[in-house]
Amino acid sequence: MISISINKLRAKRKERKLTQQELAEAIGISGCHYCQLEKGLRRMPLPFAKKIAITLDASLDELFMQTTKPGKR
């Protein structure tokens, strides 16, 4: 399962001018299921994360890895 950075995923989706429903259809899941994934209410399986990254033309790191400032954990 992938830990998501909600703001990064939402921002990238909006940058690509896609609705949650459009992205959900592109990766083969319901809009409701995608909404729950994006809000962090469900854990993101790796296959879904890969499909989202491909659809948004982004890397998994760019979308899902949380960044911390040096010296903070």
Residue ranges and CATH numbers for the domains of the chain are 6-61 (1.10.260.40)
Distance, C-alpha 48 to centroid of its chain: 9
If pLDDT is split at 50, 70 and 90, which confidence band does 7 have? confident
Q: 33 near 1, Cβ under 8 Å?
A: no
Q: 49 near 6, Cβ under 8 Å?
A: no
* For the chain, percent of residues with pLDDT exceeding 90: 62
Distance, C-alpha 67 to centroid of its chain: 15
Total-model pTM: 0.80
Q: Stretch 31-56: mean pLDDT, rounded?
A: 93
Q: How far apart are CA 7 and CA 28, in angstroms?
A: 22
